[in-house]
Amino acid sequence: MRTIVHRHLGKVVAGAAIAVAGTAVMVGITLPGSAGADDSGGGNGAGQTSQQAGQGQDQAQGAVQPGVVEEAPAEGDEGKGRDPLTDDETERVEKLALDQQLFRSSENVEGDKGPQRITVDLAEPEESELDDPNAPRRAEVSFYDYKDDSLVTKTVNLDTGKVEGTDTQHGVQPPLSRAETVEAAQLLITDRLGAGLKADFKDSTGKELTSPDQLLLNSMVYRANAGTPAALADCGKHRCLRLFVKAKNGPWIDSRDLVVDLSARKIAKVG
């Protein structure tokens, strides 16, 4: 394999350098064989008696049939107790949490009206409800508001449909959503600092890089520290990240020296 070197991103990184290898496990299934007749012993009479006894035993125990893969049961509209949220519950609580006031006053990662959804999780029961089997189910819905860089978390009671609490924090950076990671990749592809990424992609695949859909993406929140360039000094207050990029059906490409500030919609180099 030839070495690819460029003045911006450097080398295409071997998969082992930053990728976590997955291990495929093959499961073997042994199907039961049929029981053989007893050939030992005396003449035809003895053999017939043995065979009849074997058939009677099979009928009594029931013949073993090959395994059958059944479809998973349909997901119910509502869970119970500490069951994970169903798809219907997740959709419902997100709508309940996103009231018109929050929608009108906030922005998502693309700058459109409405906050960026981050997570929807089953909430922990209150202390007084720990031993109550009929305690109400609640969900916590987290949004990131790019208009003022705040994390808004709302607690929704699934039984009553009411929002029971709202918590707003600044300087808090939860794990990034898929939509945020894709938007960061799009910003990098269209920025001048993405030229090295595009050049390495073309050298390794023979194709032009024009869309995040051509990449497998992972990301990590980036916070400013003592050695951070001035252009990234607000990271931590702003929503910033590093991308880990792999060409689909191709190699990993090192872009760790580039940081995307999603709040400012800018790219800067570190290190």
Specify the pLDDT at position 65: 56
As beta bridge partners, residue 240 has 261
- Which strand (E) or helix (H) includes residue 212? none
Specify the pLDDT at position 63: 54
pTM recorded for the entire structure: 0.70
User: Tokens 């191709």 — which residue?
Assistant: 250
For the residues of 103-115, what is the DSSP string, one character each? HHH-B-TTS-BSP
Structure token pair of residue 206: 């023979």
The three-state DSSP-derived secondary structure of 6-46 is CCCCCCEECHHHHCCCCCCCCCCCCCCCCCCCCCCCCCHHH
Residue 107 CA to its chain's centroid (Å): 23
Specify the pLDDT at position 271: 76
Q: What is the mean pLDDT, run by run of 10 residues, along the chain of 271 residues? A: 40 41 38 41 44 49 53 59 87 95 96 96 83 83 98 95 96 96 98 97 96 98 93 97 96 96 96 76
